[in-house]
Structure formats: C-alpha cells, structure tokens
C-alpha cells in the first residue's frame, strides 16, 4: 500500500516539477493541506472540505475549499473502484479569489485510500483575479488513518 501511495505522490510531483521554475502571477502551483474550519457550501452540496494552500517550498499562499456536489461510482465500494466527483474549488489568495468547477477522477484501492486526479476551468474571480480565465489541475492521494489523514495533493492554477 505504501508503494502505491509513493507512486501516486511521485507521479503528481513529476507532473508539477517544472511549475516552481515557472511560478508567477500566471502560474500558481500549490500543495493542498487539509484544515479544520467551517466551509460555506450550498445547502444542496453533499459536503465541503476546507484546506490551506502552500507553495511547493512551504510558504502559505491562502485558503481554499472544495464543495462536493455529486459522487458517481464506488457504490458499493470494491477495491480499485473508480468514482467521479463533481465539485467546485474556491481558492482565496491574498490578492483575490478564483472559483473553478472541478471534475475529480478518483480510484479507491481500499476504503481508506483515495488517489485523485482533478481538472477544471476557472469560472469566476474577485480582486486581482476578477477577469481571470484559465484552469486548475493536479492530484495526488489521501489516506485516512487511525490518527487522521495523510495526504499529498498538489494543484496548479494556470491563468490566461
């Protein structure tokens, strides 16, 4: 299982390896770090997940949330089933926010491990990102343990 997690983390890391060299106001790579705070999702959403965003060097970049609208697949849960999650990411940076409807493709090797790949188009923004267009994409893994959640999730905002 640890090998599978390592492979998933390496794949995401390699996909984003060039990002720090390109980091600018137009390309913003970040690590997702799950947080413990309230979210402001719609009543019709299934649930929300709050997170902090950190640069690949560990510097805080802002906060975010994922509001999950629907999940299709893995019902019932069987090892290595696939599910598609319809969600919206709201990413709050110091200079404004970016909103992106996302499609998350997930593989669940076990009931405690999720490997995720996500992609979406920016639909709205505020502040410095008021007219933002572009994409958000990335992925990694989440593993629910007896003591909490281990994760390695990395995403990139690409602005046009």
DSSP state of 133: -
Predicted local confidence at residue 151, as pLDDT: 94
The count of domains in the chain is: 1
157 to 28, 35, 95, 136: CA distances (angstroms): 5, 20, 14, 5
Strands 47-54 and 27-34: antiparallel
Strands 81-93 and 96-110: antiparallel
pLDDT digits (tens, 9 = 90+) for 29-69: 999 999 999 999 999 999 999 999 999 999 999 999 999 99
Q: Which range of residues forms the domain containing residue 44?
A: 2-159
Nearest CA-CA partner of 120 in 149, 92, 91: 91
- Per-residue confidence in pLDDT tens, the chain, 160 aa: 554 444 444 444 444 443 443 445 699 999 999 999 999 999 999 999 999 999 999 999 999 999 999 999 999 999 999 999 999 999 999 999 999 999 999 999 999 999 999 999 999 999 999 999 999 999 999 999 999 899 999 999 999 8
pTM > 0.75: yes
């Amino acid at each position: 299982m640890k090998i599978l997690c390592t492979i998933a983390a390496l794949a995401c890391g390699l996909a984003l390896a060039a990002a720090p060299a390109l980091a600018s106001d137009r390309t913003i790579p970040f690590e997702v770090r799950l947080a413990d705070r309230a979210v402001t999702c719609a009543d019709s959403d299934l649930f929300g997940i709050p997170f902090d965003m950190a640069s690949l060097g560990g510097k805080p970049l802002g906060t975010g949330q994922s509001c999950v609208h629907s999940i299709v697949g893995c019902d019932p849960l069987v090892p290595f089933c696939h599910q598609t999650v319809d969600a919206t990411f709201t990413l709050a940076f110091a200079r404004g926010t970016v909103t992106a409807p996302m499609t998350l493709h997930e593989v669940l090797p076990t009931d405690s491990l999720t490997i995720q790949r996500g992609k979406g188009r920016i639909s709205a923004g505020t502040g410095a990102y008021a007219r933002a267009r572009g994409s958000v994409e990335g992925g990694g893994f989440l593993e629910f343990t007896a003591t909490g959640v281990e994760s390695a999730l990395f995403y990139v905002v690409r602005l046009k």
